[in-house]
Amino acid sequence: MTNEQENPFTTGRSVRHILAGAALSVPVGIVLISLLVLWLAAVLSLLSAPTGGAMLVATYVTAAITLPAAVLWFALEFARTHRERFRRSFSIDIPTPRLTWKGAGRHLTYHLIALVVGVPAVFLVLVPSAARRYAKADLEVARRLLTPGPYERLTQRVASLAQSRADVIAATDAERRRIERDLHDGIQPRLMALAMNLGMAREALAEPSPARDAIVAAHEEAITTLIELRQFVRGLHPAVLDDRGLDAALSGIAARAPIPVELAVRVEPRCPPSVEAIAYFVVSEALTNIAKHASAGRADVAVLRQDGRLHITVSDDGCGGAAMTPGGGLTGLARRTASVDGTMTLTSPTGGPTILMVELPCA
């Protein structure tokens, strides 16, 4: 690694940076000060009741309105030139903020400092150590005034985290689909073929024997495993969800439920795939919990898309008393719902009924 790579603030680079800054600050200062003077003149003319006809008044009004925007634009464009100066001098990138009045005020402050301090700083080229120190100080000032402010940095960070989370959810959903396809197209057919072969061997051995008993046990175990695998595959990501949407996928869940389920689905247009997957998981897990713990005689499921959100309501007439506990299924539902900025509320008094409501953004 060279010395310049270790320490970009060499004497040569610092001197070139100072000279370039002085050469840039003079025209920048002239332009911005001229625009500010013209704006002040227009405002003062309007305040002093200008004479000279409607055309002159219109000119003053136009200048008073448009010149601040011109100052804003020039301040940000000249700041871009200064950022390029740092990049060329020291290979240091300074982030670019958005176009805002607050940012323009900070940029104007830097341009003023560059004009008042940077131009006289050309004499520091005669003192190498002072030139290097000034270049470092100039970089610190630029990082404070030419970069996004604290609020903008926080906004950008939030946007970045939101995008990262969306990417993780999409990647997880894609991986879940891949696993579902591999199980459905690979392991499941082979297990089904094994169960069929064991079934034929079971039928071929009509006489009781230890070998037949072993084949019968293996056949029944294969069938049980196949059923569990099918349920696991459906829980991962059912193929019907991609092909036909929530209505068909949830109809399958309701049909397989051990208790009667009244299902109402109105989702037009379709939601994003990640939202559909979460909605399917919510309904599936909720009905599973009802069947296991609620002692319910029936359940009702309503899924409605309205005002850019997907509303899911699952209720039952069971014993109630459901609660979210660490590591429990309802806590998992809440976390999965929150992963897409959704909300979940649970009402389950002792004696019932239990009502689970989930809202998911569809945008």
140 and 12, same structural domain? Answer: yes
Higher pLDDT, 149 or 257: 257
Q: How far is CA 321 from the centre of its chain?
A: 35
129 and 21, same structural domain? Answer: yes
CATH code at 280?
Answer: 3.30.565.10
What does the pLDDT read at residue 1? 44
Task: For 53-87, write each residue's pLDDT tens digit.
Answer: 677 778 888 888 888 888 888 888 899 999 999 99
Q: Which of 218, 217, 160 is nearest to 194 (CA)?
A: 218
Q: Which of 165, 310, 180 is nearest to 241 (CA)?
A: 180
Residue 165 within a domain: no
pLDDT band at 179, cuts 50/70/90?
confident
254 and 227, same structural domain? Answer: no
pLDDT band at 2, cuts 50/70/90?
very low
257 and 228, same structural domain? Answer: no
Q: Which of 123, 79, 77, 72 is nearest to 100 (CA)?
A: 72
Task: For 289-343, write each residue's pLDDT tens digit.
Answer: 888 888 888 999 999 999 889 999 999 998 888 888 887 778 888 888 888 888 9
115 and 52, same structural domain? Answer: yes
pLDDT band at 235, cuts 50/70/90?
low
What does the pLDDT read at residue 213? 86
Residue 27 within a domain: yes
Residue 162 within a domain: no
What does the pLDDT read at residue 100? 76
Task: For 191-209, write each residue's pLDDT tens digit.
Answer: 888 888 888 888 888 788 8
270 and 226, same structural domain? Answer: no
41 and 141, same structural domain? Answer: yes
CA distance 118 to 112: 9
For residue 123, what are the domain limits? 3-148
3-state secondary structure the chain: CCHHHHCCCCHHHHHHHHHHHHHHHHHHHHHHHHHHHHHHHHHHHHHCCCCCCHHHHHHHHHHHHHHHHHHHHHHHHHHHHHHHHHHHHHCCCCCCCCCCHHHHHHHHHHHHHHHHHHCHHHHHHHCHHHHHHHHHHHHHHHHHHCCCCHHHHHHHHHHHHHHHHHHHHHHHHHHHHHHHHHHHHHHHHHHHHHHHHHHHHHHHCCCCCHHHHHHHHHHHHHHHHHHHHHHHHHHHCCHHHHHHCHHHHHHHHHHHCCCCEEEEEECCCCCCHHHHHHHHHHHHHHHHHHHHHHCCCCEEEEEEEECCEEEEEEEECCCCCCCCCCCCHHHHHHHHHHCCCCEEEEECCCCCCEEEEEEEECC
Question: Of 236, 263, 281, which marks where a domain is finished?
Answer: 236
Mean per-residue pLDDT of the chain: 85
Question: Of 207, 236, 265, which marks where a domain is finished?
Answer: 236
143 and 76, same structural domain? Answer: yes
310 and 263, same structural domain? Answer: yes
What does the pLDDT read at residue 261? 92
What does the pLDDT read at residue 357? 94
27 and 130, same structural domain? Answer: yes
144 and 8, same structural domain? Answer: yes
Residue 38 within a domain: yes
266 and 222, same structural domain? Answer: no
Residue 158 within a domain: no
Bond prior to 95 in cis (omega within 30° of 0) = no
Residue 348 within a domain: yes
Residue 221 within a domain: yes
Residue 155 within a domain: no
What percent of the chain lies above the pLDDT cut of 70? 95
Task: For 103-135, write each residue's pLDDT tens digit.
Answer: 788 888 999 999 999 999 999 888 989 999 999
What does the pLDDT read at residue 252? 87
Q: How many domains does the chain have?
A: 3
Task: For 3-45, write each residue's pLDDT tens digit.
Answer: 445 678 899 999 999 999 999 999 999 998 898 898 888 888 8
